[in-house]
């Protein structure tokens, strides 16, 4: 498996972003796995090659960002890394000189930095604004969310009076062509206790073959998994496939449903009865019907539209958790 795409700071990109960046790099014959955000390249005044192609857009719940590959710059990677290291060293010295020796004014520890509902840090400018905002709050949480995330995913909407106070909103410093996104400290929700290290984490659900679902689909699945206490399980299966395998869900359980020409219902395998007989093992082809029929073929094609792409298969930590083979209908 190829090395994960990363930034100059060494921070790895999310799985779906890595897949996109790896594909772009391969198509343009770029070597290496280092990518530089546009904002960073502008801040460090890094020189681009003449007539280089536009940066790659990465979409996410925190807004869009744009990145250049290291080979799009006219200086080698070592020079890019040196520029970044010098910048960090300079910023650290400035922060130390500004804060002095006072413990009250010392820079927050990494665990105290503002985090998104994916458990990830924001860009530096947004972090500074959030930290300033936290100083005005009585009991600030480390987690920040949009109004939509709090209401839909966590079912803990912000109080109306909290949203109407403009001082509580921090807007991400997104790319100029993108619309800014407002984030609020989850202290202002009706139930801040729902936002923890366990619930505020990346959730990259996969189907029976270990293929990633699209980000929009993943949001719906994360909300469902939180409600049913199965965020620890990333694997999903269609209810039709579950029936073929002799698995059943609790009678009152409502699956995640996507409507096309016909509905496609999916369920997390953690809620299925007898799921232990398939978890951690590959289903043998003998478990499939001799003739799956047009209905199964149609459902499989519909589910395919929910996936990232036909070749985006997770092969790292899932390992033995792959639950299907191409011969089984979805």
Contact 289, 295 (CB under 8 A): no
Q: What is the pLDDT of residues 11-66, one digit of tens each?
A: 888 888 888 999 999 999 999 999 998 888 888 889 999 888 989 988 765 567 88
Cα separation of 236 and 279, whole Å?
11
Nearest CA among 23, 80, 27, 22 for reference residue 49 = 80
Burial letters 264-280, b for 16+ CB under 10 A, else e: bbbbbbbbbeebeebee
The residue-averaged pLDDT of 121-129 equals 83
Q: C-alpha distances in angstroms, 124 versus 174, 183, 206, 325?
A: 12, 15, 32, 44
Residue 278 has a pLDDT of: 54
Count of CB atoms within 10 A of residue 252's CB?
A: 5
pLDDT tier, 275 (very low <50, low <70, confident <90, very high otherwise): low
H/E run at residue 26: helix 15-27
Query: Above 80 in pLDDT, residue 245?
Result: yes
Q: Helix or strand or coil: residue 288? A: coil
With bands split at pLDDT 50, 70 and 90, how would you rate the model's confidence at 67?
A: very high
Distant-in-sequence, close-in-space partners of 150: CB < 8 Å, separation ≥ 6: 156, 157, 158, 184, 186, 189
Residue 77: pLDDT band with limits 50, 70, 90: very high
Structure tokens at 189: 């929700």
Q: Residue range 279-300: average pLDDT?
A: 46
Please tell me the distance from the alpha carbon of residue 222 to that of residue 266, in angstroms, as a whole number: 13
Q: What pLDDT score was predicted for residue 177?
A: 55
Cβ-based neighbours of 290, under 8 Å, separated by 6 or more = none
Phi, psi of 57 (to 5 degrees): -90, 130
- Cα separation, 22 vs 146, in Å, equals 29
At 286 the pLDDT is 34
Residue among 200, 194, 18, 174 at smallest CA distance from 116: 200
- pLDDT attached to residue 208: 83
Q: What residue ranges do the domains of the chain occupy?
A: 1-101, 110-194, 215-321
Helix, strand, or coil here: 189?
A: strand
Distances (CA, A) of 226 to 26, 190, 232, 233: 36, 17, 9, 11
**Mean model confidence pLDDT for the chain:** 78
Which of the four pLDDT bands, split at 50, 70 and 90, describes residue 71? very high
What is residue 298's predicted lDDT score, i.e. its pLDDT? 58
The whole-model pTM stands at 0.61
**Four-residue CA torsion sign, 168, 172, 176, 178:** negative
- Give the pLDDT score at 227: 94
CB neighbour class for 72 (10 Å; exposed up to 12, middle 13-18, buried from 19):
buried
Lowest pLDDT segment from 24-33, 47-56, 174-183, 244-253: 174-183
Higher pLDDT, 299 or 129: 129
Cβ(130)–Cβ(170) below 8 Å = yes
Give pLDDT tens digits for 297-321. 556 676 777 776 543 333 333 332 3
pLDDT of residue 316: 33
């Amino acid at each position: 498996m190829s090395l994960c795409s990363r930034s100059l700071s060494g921070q790895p990109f999310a799985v779906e972003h890595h897949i996109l960046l790896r594909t772009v790099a391969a198509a343009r014959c770029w070597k290496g796995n280092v990518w530089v955000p546009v904002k960073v390249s502008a801040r460090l005044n890094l020189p681009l090659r003449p007539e280089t192609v536009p940066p790659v857009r990465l979409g996410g719940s925190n807004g869009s960002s744009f990145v250049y590959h290291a080979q799009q710059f006219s200086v080698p990677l070592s020079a890019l890394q040196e520029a970044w290291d010098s910048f960090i060293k300079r910023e650290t010295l400035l922060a130390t000189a500004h804060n002095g020796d006072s413990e009250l004014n010392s820079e927050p520890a990494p665990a105290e930095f503002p985090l998104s509902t994916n458990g990830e840090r924001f860009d530096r400018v947004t972090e500074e604004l959030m930290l300033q905002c936290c100083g005005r709050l009585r009991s600030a949480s480390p987690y920040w969310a949009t109004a939509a995330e709090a209401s839909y995913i966590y079912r803990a909407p912000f109080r109306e009076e909290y949203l109407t106070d403009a001082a509580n909103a921090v807007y991400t410093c997104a790319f100029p062509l993108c619309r800014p996104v407002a984030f609020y400290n989850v202290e202002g929700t009706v139930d801040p206790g729902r936002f923890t290290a366990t619930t505020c984490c990346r959730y990259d659900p996969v189907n029976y073959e270990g293929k990633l679902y699209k980000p929009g689909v993943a949001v719906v699945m994360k909300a469902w998994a939180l409600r049913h206490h199965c965020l620890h399980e990333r694997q999903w299966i269609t209810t039709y496939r579950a029936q073929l395998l002799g698995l059943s869900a609790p009678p009152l359980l409502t699956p995640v449903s996507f409507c096309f020409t016909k509905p496609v219902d999916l369920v997390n395998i953690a809620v299925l009865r007898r799921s232990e007989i398939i978890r951690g093992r590959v289903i043998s082809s003998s478990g499939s019907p001799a003739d799956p029929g047009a209905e199964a073929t149609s459902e499989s094609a519909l589910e395919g539209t929910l996936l990232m792409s036909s070749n985006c298969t997770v092969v790292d930590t899932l390992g033995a958790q792959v639950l299907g083979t191409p011969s089984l209908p979805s």
